[in-house]
Structures are given as C-alpha cells and as structure tokens.
Structure 1
Amino acid sequence: MSRLTHLDAEGNAHMVDVSGKDVTSRSATAKALVEMLPATLALILEGKAKKGDVIATARIAGIMAAKKTHELIPLCHPLMISKVTVDFAPDTAASTIEVTATVKVEGKTGVEMESLTACSVACLTLYDMCKAVDRGMKITNLRLVEKAGGKSGHFTAE
C-alpha cells in the first residue's frame, strides 16, 4: 500500500485511510538543480532581474506550493504543515543553483510530496522570472534526498 492510495477490488484508487496511524514528527527534503547561462546567474545574484528579487520570489512560491500540494496531486492528504524551508545554493563555476526544500509536520502521513512540490515550484519560478533572458535554462535532478518519521523510518538517498 502506498502513502497516497490503494486500489479496491475493482481497481479504483482511493485516498488511504490514515485514521489508525499514530501522529509522529515527519520531515522530507527534496533537491533539484537549475542550470543557466553565467549571465543569467549573475543577474540573479546581483538582484538585477527585471521581475525583481528572483530568490525571494522563488522561496515564497516554494513555501506556498508545499501548502497547496493536496490541491495539485490527486489523493494527497491536506496537512497542517509546521515548517517549510526553501534554500538556494548558487555555483558560479557550474552556472547553477541547487534548490533544497524541507517540509516538517506532526501528522499521520509523510511530507515527501510536499517537499518535492515545493522544490519543483521554486525551480519553475526561477525559470519564469528569468526566461526572457535565458529560455535554455534546465531544471534537472529533482529527487527526494531524505525523509524521517513514520512507520517506514529514516531514508537517505545515496
């Protein structure tokens, strides 16, 4: 049985019943990479993008996305998220920004989808705010890197 759904005898998907699960501290961290031209990264880091503060806007977008995951991903449970962080690590030598999103909750189901959604939307916002100068940006390597709490325990990607 997956975190989000199970199939009934007819093969129909349903939201998983989590009412019997214990409330525990749960967290998940996702990462992705945005590749861009050196000039694009310079615009972002110097705060000279025409649309404004790219990093601050992408951070807010990621936080908002985590909170709306249940509206975007079918059969995801709405959660009372206790914390979302979205961080950006620019690498001028590689002309990239690594985006990291961590979501925490005290609940009966995990927050993997919330962290992945936050990371994705933060990356999409970076792209949107800079696409006028660099349509060739690439969003790559979106993945869950760590998850803690719940019945399945701790997971760290290799």
Structure 2
Amino acid sequence: MAMFIRRAALMLPKSRRLCSSSHDIESSINELNKEMEFVFGEAPPTSLTGSSESQPTSQGPEFKPVEKIDNESKLTHISSKGEAQMVDVSHKDISKRVAIASCKVILGKKVYDLVSANQVAKGDVLSVAKLAGISGAKHTSNLVPLCHNINLTHVRVDLRLNARDYCVEIEGEAASTGKTGVEMEAMTAVTVAGLTVYDMCKAASKDIQITDVRLEHKTGGKSGNWSREKQ
C-alpha cells in the first residue's frame, strides 16, 4: 500500500501536496487505486493506514510447534545437553543378536592376478585378512569410543575373489547374547579385513579401493530384524 500512497502523492501538484487536506489526498488515492485495480486486478486498502489485518506484527512469522521426535529416531549417543555419551543398556532385555556386514576391495587386474595366484610378496592375502577381520571384531570397543565392550559368541569373516570386477568381496558376521547389538563388530570385521588386503598389496599398486562398507542384516534387540533390500 505504501507504494500506492507514494505514487498518489507524487501525482498531485506541488501546491496540493503542501496545502491539501487529508480528505483531498485520500480522495486522490482512492481514484488512483481504482485505476490500478483496473490494470492489475487487485484493490489495495482504501485507508491511509490500511486495515489492521494487513499490518505486519512485531512478533514475526508464526512457527508451528516442532513435533516430538520418536525415541526410535533419536541419536542415542547424544545427551540432552548435546554431549557425547555412552548409552546405558542396563534396562534392556538380553537376547541373541546377529549382524552381517560386507565390503569390496577393488584391486585392478594386475593385483588381482597376483592375489589369485598367491604370488603377493607378503604372503597369503586372503588368509591373513581373514584373521585380521576376526581380530578387528573382537577389538571394536577399543577402536570406536562409544561402543560397549561385549562378549562375542561367534565371528565369521569370508573373502572371495570376483574375477569380473577384479575385486575381493568380504562378508563378516558377528553374534552375541546380550543387551546391545553387534552391527559395529560386523562392520569393523570387514573394514579391518579390507585394510589388511590393502596393506598386503599396496607394494604392487596404490590404486586399490575399499568400497561399500555396509550392514546387510541384523537380528535381535528391541528393533527386531532388519535386512537391506536387494538391488
């Protein structure tokens, strides 16, 4: 509306701008507004101040209250003060928990041929990486600060060569009967196994890549069973 007022005032002769009464000015504004409505199809408020509904408030925009976040979606390792914390699992039920994770180590043809022929200078790559993965699962709480130190009942690490992609596919499984899950143990197992493959082969190539470290399946606990959807 301020734009219309300024335009109306400027269109008046100088003498009228100085001497005219507020009634004359408002009458001129009303006439101009009718012309603007004809052009733009919208009529602004006819008073100098406008209606109370059109005036902005000092309170700013109205925000909808944030919905309460479901406990299952919260970051449990963050305290109410925003600080990192180790989750208290004392109230949780004991259940059998299993997790399976996987990753790939892309070698390239040259290194793949060396590994498949067991001709890497450091020795049997797959056997050493398998043992490293098992050891990594057992040391997860020492590597990841907020993980619980749990008693594993089973750890499995399998490595297989994929001639099509010139890579090593690694799968790790961890199991425990307790109050917290073993997802981190399974993912640590495959990650450490992958790093070991790299270490064993890095003299032959620095271009080796460890990719797709991810959880594939888990069972047990309050959240129940979960499996990654197959592509």
- Residue of structure 2 equivalent to 1:54: 125
Q: 2:147 aligns with which of 68, 76, 87?
A: 76
1:15–1:44 CA distance, 2 compared to 1 (3 A): same
Structure 1 residue matching 2:77: 3-state secondary structure: strand
Instruction: Pick the structure with more helix per residue.
Output: 2
Structure 1 residue matching 2:210: 3-state secondary structure: strand
User: In the alignment, residue 87 of structure 2 is paired with which amino acid?
Assistant: V
Q: Using structure 1 for the length normalisation, give the TM-score.
A: 0.94
Identity of aligned residues (%): 43
Instruction: Pick the structure with more strand per residue.
Output: 1
- Residue of structure 2 equivalent to 1:22: 93
Segments of 5+ residues of structure 2 without an aligned counterpart are 1-70
Q: CA RMSD in A?
A: 1.6
Structure 2 residue matching 1:87: 3-state secondary structure: strand
How many residues are aligned here? 158
**Which structure carries more relative contact order (alpha carbon 8 Å, separation 6+)?**
1
User: In the alignment, residue 109 of structure 2 is paired with which amino acid?
Assistant: P
Q: Which digits, 9 at most, give the CA deviation of each residue in 1:87-145, with x for residues without a partner? A: 11211122111110110111100000111111101000000000000110111111101
Q: Using structure 2 for the length normalisation, give the TM-score.
A: 0.65
CA contact (8 A) 1:4 1:15 kept: no
CA contact (8 A) 1:4 1:16 kept: no
Segments of 5+ residues of structure 1 without an aligned counterpart are none
1:85–1:4 CA distance, 2 compared to 1 (3 A): farther
CA contact (8 A) 2:172 2:189 kept: yes
CA contact (8 A) 1:4 1:77 kept: no
